[in-house]
Amino acid sequence: DQQVKQNSPSLSVQEGRISILNCDYTNSMFDYFLWYKKYPAEGPTFLISISSIKDKNEDGRFTVFLNKSAKHLSLHIVPSQPGDSAVYFCAASAEYGNKLVFGAGTILRVKS
Amino acid sequence: NAGVMQNPRHLVRRRGQEARLRCSPMKGHSHVYWYRQLPEEGLKFMVYLQKENIIDESGMPKERFSAEFPKEGPSILRIQQVVRGDSAAYFCASSPLRLAGGYNEQFFGPGTRLTVL
């Protein structure tokens, strides 16, 4: 039962352009959503989050959009940089502060 | 302020042996979570602990796996009689005391990569 889905295994983007990573979820009880970035042989690093009472949260080059009716969220990175190349995981929580449910991840490659 | 520490970083065991994975949370954090990542998959929740208490172990296999977070010392994830299917990356995360109505970010350690021969 895959409650959080990232349907694109990989994405390739030119440096300076926008990267858009997508995530869909099925559990309507999820009330907090997060994006993590992961480099090989390292643990996930928190990037940005959004509460279900909002539809947008911005932090520098990173913006997360939440569409509750479609059960869909996306991460926009503008402008993309080569250092952004990593695996990006979408995660969701049904209870504040408790377990996270992760998607399978999307490999982002930013070409210079 | 040191981050979440995990050791060992790499662990090789033969089938039937025991594996012990350690996690030291960030200073001041009293909540610990364990996740497992199988190849080509996302992280899967295993267990959530506070000091001396297991809060949620709904993701932990019923047999061979156990976890503890004692009053003193690191959190331990123990896997008895390992099998090849236990080969995975095991990540620990910690968070501070949860405030009412709020969300506390989980900070992840670098992981322990377990290989079962």
Are residues A36 and B108, on separate chains, in Cβ contact within 8 Å?
yes
The residues that bridge with B38 in the sheet, in sequence order, are: none
Amino acid identity for residue B18 in this structure? E
Give the pLDDT of chain A (112 residues) as one tens digit per residue: 689 999 999 999 999 999 999 999 999 999 999 999 999 989 999 999 999 999 999 999 999 999 999 999 999 999 999 999 999 999 999 876 578 999 999 999 999 9
Are residues A43 and B101, on separate chains, in Cβ contact within 8 Å?
no
Min distance A75 CA to chain B CA atoms (Å): 17
pLDDT digits (tens, 9 = 90+) for A89-102: 999 998 765 789 99
- Alpha-carbon distance of A15 to A31, in angstroms, equals 33
Residues of chain B neighbouring A41 (CB-CB closer than 8 A): 110-111
CB B8 within 8 A of CB B18: no
> What does the buried/exposed string (b/e) look like for B30-39 if buried means 16 or more CB atoms within 10 Å of the residue's CB?
ebbbbbbbee
Min distance B38 CA to chain A CA atoms (Å): 10
- End-to-end Cα distance, chain B: 37
Percentage of chain B with pLDDT > 90? 80
CB B48 within 8 A of CB B35: no
